[in-house]
Amino acid sequence: MTLKQAKELVRSRLSDQRYEHTLNVKKMAVKLAKRYGADEEQAALAALLHDAAKEISKDEMRAIMRAYPEYAEGGEERPTPVWHGICAAILARTEWGVEDEAVLSAIACHTAGKPGMSRLDKILYLADMTSAERDWSGVNKLRRLERNDLDAAMLVALKQTNDFVLSQGKPLDPMSKAAYEDIQAQVEARAGTACGSSD
Ligand SMILES: [Fe+2]
Ligand SMILES: [Fe+2]
């Protein structure tokens, strides 16, 4: 699927507001890809498709995940806000001709994160939280951080998201908890190495 085709597809599937969000996420994802030497086309495609299943019903999402249990990542058992990313990845793989596993992974985990996130996974996760129209308190701080340190930004981003979910009294996806612990361990190990090397 080309970027042009992806753009046309999501234009037909999304409201004006979510389409704008999608274009802003694409801009931010490409910017981060440039900054961190990731593939800009992969970042653009993942960003364009990330919310492509956000405006279908829960029943439709459930049907998609049931039709492709091998790609559903335990979706039905997981909190419903996570479903649209999993479903977008399934549709991209099975209907829209996206074969790039890196792109499919970034789409699938853009809401919850997961342990062992790739650079592209992190770029999409952060781009979705810091796209131009986002105005949550702390977004500017995260924008500054993500320009300098992808993992430090992920640590802040996952904490922010997980704390928000818990503050709403909603269940936290175990993947989100695992994603946070994984990044935390990596950032701590890096800090330890940095301290060790300065001895
Ligand atoms: Fe999303
Ligand atoms: Fe989004």
Distance, CA of 23 to chain centre: 15
Ligand nearest to the Cα of 20, by number? 2
pLDDT digits (tens, 9 = 90+) for 7-16: 999 999 999 9
Task: Compute, in degrees rounded to 10, the torsion defined by CA atoms 89, 36, 151, 147.
Answer: -110
C-alpha of residue 59 to centroid of ligand 2, in Å:
20
Q: What's the chain's average pLDDT?
A: 96
C-alpha of residue 22 to centroid of ligand 2, in Å:
6
Number of domains in the chain: 1
Alpha-carbon dihedral sign for residues 174, 166, 117, 56 = positive
C-alpha of residue 65 to centroid of ligand 2, in Å:
20
Over 70: is that where the pLDDT of 199 sits?
no
Ligand 2 is an ion; its neighbours by CB within 5 Å are 51, 128
Q: What is the predicted pLDDT for the residue at 10?
A: 98
State how far the Cα of 149 lies from the Cα of 36, in Å rounded to an integer.
Answer: 9
C-alpha of residue 30 to centroid of ligand 2, in Å:
15
Tokens representing 92 are: 């991209």
C-alpha of residue 195 to centroid of ligand 1, in Å:
37
Going by pLDDT thresholds of 50, 70 and 90, the confidence category of residue 191 is confident
Q: What is the predicted pLDDT for the residue at 197?
A: 54
C-alpha of residue 193 to centroid of ligand 2, in Å:
35
Ligand nearest to the Cα of 88, by number? 1
Over 80: is that where the pLDDT of 121 sits?
yes
What is the pLDDT averaged over residues 135-154?
Answer: 97
Ligand nearest to the Cα of 110, by number? 1
Residues with Cβ within 8 Å of residue 7, at least 6 apart in sequence: 48
C-alpha of residue 197 to centroid of ligand 2, in Å:
40
Please tell me what DSSP assigns to residue 73: T
Q: What is the CATH number of the domain that holds 138?
A: 1.10.3210.10
Name the region of 169 (left: φ>0; alpha: ψ -120 to 50; beta: rest): left
Q: What is the predicted pLDDT for the residue at 193?
A: 79
Closest by Cα among 63, 69, 51 to 11? 51
Ligand nearest to the Cα of 107, by number? 1
Q: Which 3 state secondary structure label does DSSP give 18?
A: helix
Over 60: is that where the pLDDT of 143 sits?
yes
Over 80: is that where the pLDDT of 182 sits?
yes
Query: Range of 104's domain?
Result: 3-198
